[in-house]
Amino acid sequence: MTRTVDTTRVRPSHDVLRLLPAKTARAVGALPLAVEDGTVVVCLADKTDFNAIERVETLLADRKVEFVEAQDPVDFRRVLRENYPDAAMTGDLERPENLFAHVMRRALARNASDIHISPAETETLVRMRIDGRLQTDLSVSSQTAAEFVSYIKVLANLDIAEKRAPQDGNIDTNVNGLEVSLRVATVPTIWGEHVTLRILSQTRETKQLDTLDNLGFHSHQLKLFEEALETPDGVVILSGPTGSGKTTTLYAALRRLAKPGDLHLVSIEDPVEKPVAGVTQIKVDARQERVSFEKALRSVLRHDPDVVMVGEIRDGETAQTALRSALTGHLVLTTLHTNSAPGILTRLVDLGVPPYLVASTLRLAVAQRLLRRPCRECMAWQPADAATCERYGWDAANPPKVPVARGCAYCGNTGYSGRTAIYEMLPVNDGVRKMLLKGESEGDIYRWLKAFAPGLTLRGDALAKVLEGETTLEEYRATVVEELELAELTIIN
């Protein structure tokens, strides 16, 4: 029986599309969707068209081919033209305005967070960051790329003659009726200018992440987080590397606090990523002395706020001012760059904040990471092997089943679609305060947390989510460096 495919959801990758020349693909009505276990899956407009089958088989020479059918032939025609665009649909893609519109449509359709225009020796790649990973979407000639980059620089009000210095700018544009804001950065490379476009507007994916309920918290984690938000004074700090979803969590927290409308909420950000109803958002420029985080925070405290969000603590002065303001009856939400939740405590002390001040104001320290979710269409379950069981403390005689990412037409052959977050949560209770005041290390506090509540560590949360099929062990290992686990092993040995 022939498989049918919902072509509105397929995301064939650049490598797969390259298997057929665009002109032939359009002419015979064939769209390669994925390579599954070595077999090229090709969707045909008409499965009884032997001419089409023969042409595709000839072009794919020695490869195994599986032909599938589209659920809806009208959708298929549209998707085929989107993936192999012809001039009738996009206009001539050699023209920069058409190329820009085409790239933006594809980026939004794929929920990309960034677009990179990366020049190389003979061609320029247009790549998109999807679920945190870069995927090549298109390659264009160096000549087309040069005109494309100039066009983008004009839109962003940059100096098009200046090609040797990095420049920053913004573009507000409209794609399929949707307002889109782009942050533009250029940098010269040996093969020409590299341009990065960050998509700031709300796309479908980020809309779903508006509320705390949709951020992948387990119920016990959500309870801890909400309790910390309900305290009228104190500090809640989120940590994680860039791109770990800290800002999304902070915004969701602000939205929750803004909802009843009886609190004065102020945020100090660099830059303001998106507007939040009910929050007074202040933009600072950390590169300039005039409006630093610390200066803005001092002035904000004179405006009678109930809740203050500080985008990021980068220095000791801001840290001290933020924590001291919690002493005088404010709830402060902020972020810090550390690898673990216990690391937040020791980092504050390293920044020069007295341990007693950390102990008396910090309510909850959170570390987070974003991990990709296995694609629902192609994921498989298999029993964990003996080494994995030993590593994660599972019973090797009765191994649990863990998800394995494979790859299909719906996930652009990556095996993943969408992301979830994992959290480490350290509630600052009497035990933690004592350890902090005694000057115990990040590792000591981590071991205490692991013994006190293993499910509250990044590792514990990740393993739980693996067993729920929300992520994979491969994804966890690729994202989290278990430095503290390693340190622990060394001590035991």
Which stretches of the chain bind Zn ion, using CB under 5 A?
375, 377-378, 408, 410-411
CB of 43 to Zn ion, least distance (A): 15
Nearer to Zn ion, 251 or 416 (CB): 416
CB of 105 to Zn ion, least distance (A): 22
The torsion of the CA quartet 123, 124, 125, 126, rounded to 10 degrees, works out to -140
Give the neighbor-by-neighbor strand order of the sheet with 123-130.
133-141, 123-130, 114-119, 192-199, 178-189, 167-175
CB of 372 to Zn ion, least distance (A): 11
Nearer to Zn ion, 33 or 276 (CB): 33
CB of 405 to Zn ion, least distance (A): 8
Q: Which residues contact 60 (CB under 8 A, 6 or more apart)?
A: 19, 20, 40, 42
Nearer to Zn ion, 228 or 375 (CB): 375
CB of 37 to Zn ion, least distance (A): 12
Nearer to Zn ion, 106 or 373 (CB): 373
Looking at the DSSP bridge assignments, the partners of residue 189 are: 192
CB of 490 to Zn ion, least distance (A): 39
Nearest CA-CA partner of 461 in 452, 192, 470? 470
Give the neighbor-by-neighbor strand order of the sheet with 30-36.
4-5, 64-70, 39-44, 30-36
- Report the sign of the C-alpha dihedral through residues 467, 473, 476, 482, in that order: positive
Burial bucket for residue 165 (CB in 10 Å: 0-12, 13-18, 19+): exposed
3-state secondary structure of 333: strand
How many Å apart are CA 255 and CA 262, to the nearest integer? 13
CB of 479 to Zn ion, least distance (A): 20
How many Å apart are CA 5 and CA 7, to the nearest integer? 6
Nearer to Zn ion, 336 or 375 (CB): 375
Nearer to Zn ion, 368 or 413 (CB): 413
Nearest residue to Zn ion on Cβ basis: 375
Helix and strand counts by DSSP (H, E) for the chain: 20, 19
Nearer to Zn ion, 380 or 396 (CB): 380
